Amino acid sequence: EAGVAQSPRYKIIEKRQSVAFWCNPISGHATLYWYQQILGQGPKLLIQFQNNGVVDDSQLPKDRFSAERLKGVDSTLKIQPAKLEDSAVYLCASSREDSPDYNEQFFGPGTRLTVL
Amino acid sequence: AQSVTQLDSHVSVSEGTPVLLRCNYSSSYSPSLFWYVQHPNKGLQLLLKYTSAATLVKGINGFEAEFKKSETSFHLTKPSAHMSDAAEYFCVVRGGSYIPTFGRGTSLIVHP
């Protein structure tokens, strides 16, 4: 079974520029998550999708961050414009959720963003 | 509302000695609880999970955790540390909203 795929793996941009990250979850996983992990901290949930609907986006800075999962499969996360404090690893995860026994998240390798 | 507190930011042990990483949680509903491990420059990997079945949960690499509802705890243990266990460990809670909350992490240092 293929894992969660993310691209790019690394990105360096200057502040005020735009950037987009892509995630392809494990096939058949209904729920997709985007996290921001700042160095030395635990992952912070930015947005959670169930199929193509949003379950929670309470911690997504909506003035600059946006995310979509139009066909209920892969997803993109965009930052426009980027700030220095957006430097972090952006993690994508997915889970089945068809029963309580299948609610663990599987994580991708992450995208390391550096904003200069 | 839910929250998770990892009581130690760093834990240092000698190889071959027991490991204890502490996690307390708060949840309005019967939660699912998880421990994940993150090795340097690697992705997050599930160690074990509790989802209302047996309170003592066994995971990969010799780790186990015990769910104690009365103490709202889910501590991670291993009888004998190995050098390869050195990593960051995260405790995660999911309550009735099904939204996961991560702890701040505990860095496990293993001395030879």
Residue A10 CB contacts under 8 Å (≥ 6 apart), including other chains: A111, A112, A114
- The radius of gyration of chain A's CA atoms, rounded to the nearest angstrom, is 14
**Shortest distance, CA B82 to any CA of chain A (angstroms):** 23
* Count of the separate structural domains present in chain B: 1
Share of chain A above pLDDT 90, in %: 83
Specify if B14 maps to a domain: yes
The sign of the torsion formed by the CA atoms of B5, B107, B45, A40 equals positive
Structural domain range at position B42: 1-51+85-90
Q: Which residues of chain B have pLDDT under 70?
A: none
B96 touches chain A (CB under 8 A): no
Confidence check: pLDDT of A101 > 80? no
**Shortest distance, CA A107 to any CA of chain B (angstroms):** 6
Specify if B27 maps to a domain: yes
> Tens digits of per-residue pLDDT, A7-17?
999 999 999 99
Specify if B33 maps to a domain: yes
Across the interface, whether the CB atoms of B102 and A42 are under 8 A apart is answered: yes
Confidence check: pLDDT of A71 > 90? no
In this prediction, residue B41 carries a pLDDT of 79
Chosen for mutation from A9, A49, A103 (greatest number of chain B CBs closer than 10 Å) is A103
**CA A99 remoteness from chain centre:** 23
In this prediction, residue A1 carries a pLDDT of 65
**CA A90 remoteness from chain centre:** 6
Specify if B44 maps to a domain: yes
What is the CATH classification number for the domain harbouring B26? 2.60.40.10
A109 touches chain B (CB under 8 A): yes
Residue among B32, B45, B99 whose CB faces A48 most closely: B99
Tracing tokens 């700030």 back to the chain, one arrives at A83
Which domains occur in chain A, in start order?
5-99 (2.60.40.10)
Task: Report helix, strand or coil for A85.
Answer: helix
> Tens digits of per-residue pLDDT, A41-61?
899 999 999 988 999 999 999
In this prediction, residue A72 carries a pLDDT of 83
Residue among A42, A103, A109 whose CB faces B32 most closely: A103
A104 touches chain B (CB under 8 A): yes
Distance CA B32, CA A61 (A): 27
Task: Give me chain A's average pLDDT, please.
Answer: 93
